[in-house]
Amino acid sequence: MIPALTYMPRRNPLCRAGALAATAYLGAFVAVAFGFSNPIVLAADGLAVVVVALAAGVGRSLALAARFAAYLGVLMVVTNAVASQRGDTILVRGPDLPLLGTVNISAEAMAEGAILALRIAVVIAAFAVYTAAVDPDRVLRLLRPLARRSALTASLIVRLVPLAAADHARISEAAALRGPGAAGVGRAAVLRRLVSGSLDRSVDVAATLELRGFARGAPGRARRLPRSPADAAFWSVAALIVGFSALALLAGAADYESYPVVALERGPGVLLLGLALPLLAWAPFGARR
């Protein structure tokens, strides 16, 4: 079984793009999520990330990120509704608690919590797509001039963590197939077997690295990878997203306020930016076709 967040080479422009271009492309959607609080823009930004995930063939990673973001989002809405104590529209008048006073739940506090949850969901989804669609080797090559040993360590982690997840799946499946008459296998036994196997593998990896000369330090040079023809498209889309977003912020076309009452900007600028984000997300994939 291959974990959902494991990188797999695929025949699409994002998986073949350079690490810097792919980082700028997906980072633009993260910048929009942190730069805006307008729910229309955040929803359009989330839709753009969904378009990227489907076009890149990493829908499983997006589904996993959505489940995690849903749990975290509910927690954020509830926490903000209880802790904020701001807003004019009181939905629930709570009891008087020691040190906290009267705990009231307002519609504005819940709306603010929902905005925070939506922002975090978009960011988690973007990083899930980045993990599954961008070649980690290309990413680590960017760090090589800055920290050779750290890049080597990160490279080993990127490869060994999916192996540990696959080992856990195989051990759990083997434990489940022992039959009804066998004694149950607890989590402690599975964890002990998993750690033992990981330690054995780490010894083999260390010996292999030593035989290849890494005991004297990481090699100083690496073969330069050819640039992908799609890099220019990803750079252009990232620049357009950042440019349009900056203009919208400077013009105040996507303002949003939760307190004291919800004030949502729904003008043509918001709608234009909301329509542009999914279209720009699809542009590098559609241009290739």
Nearest to 89 by CA among 260, 236, 217: 260
pLDDT for position 187 = 80
Let me know: does 26 contact 123? Beta carbons within 8 Å: no
What is the distance of C-alpha 214 from the center of its chain? Answer: 32
pLDDT for position 218 = 53
Let me know: does 172 contact 46? Beta carbons within 8 Å: no
Beta bridge partners of 101: 97
Nearest to 38 by CA among 253, 185, 284, 191: 253
pLDDT for position 1 = 43
Structure tokens at 254: 């996507």
List, run by run, the mean pLDDT of 10-residue segments along the chain (289 residues).
72 89 95 94 96 93 91 92 85 74 84 94 94 83 69 72 82 78 75 87 84 64 65 94 93 88 87 94 80
DSSP3 helix / strand / coil % (the chain, rounded to 5) = 70, 5, 25
Structure tokens at 282: 């699809």
CA distances (Å), origin 224, targets 137, 138, 140, 221: 12, 10, 13, 9
Cβ contacts of 144 within 8 Å, gap of 6 or more:
151, 218, 222
pLDDT for position 253 = 85
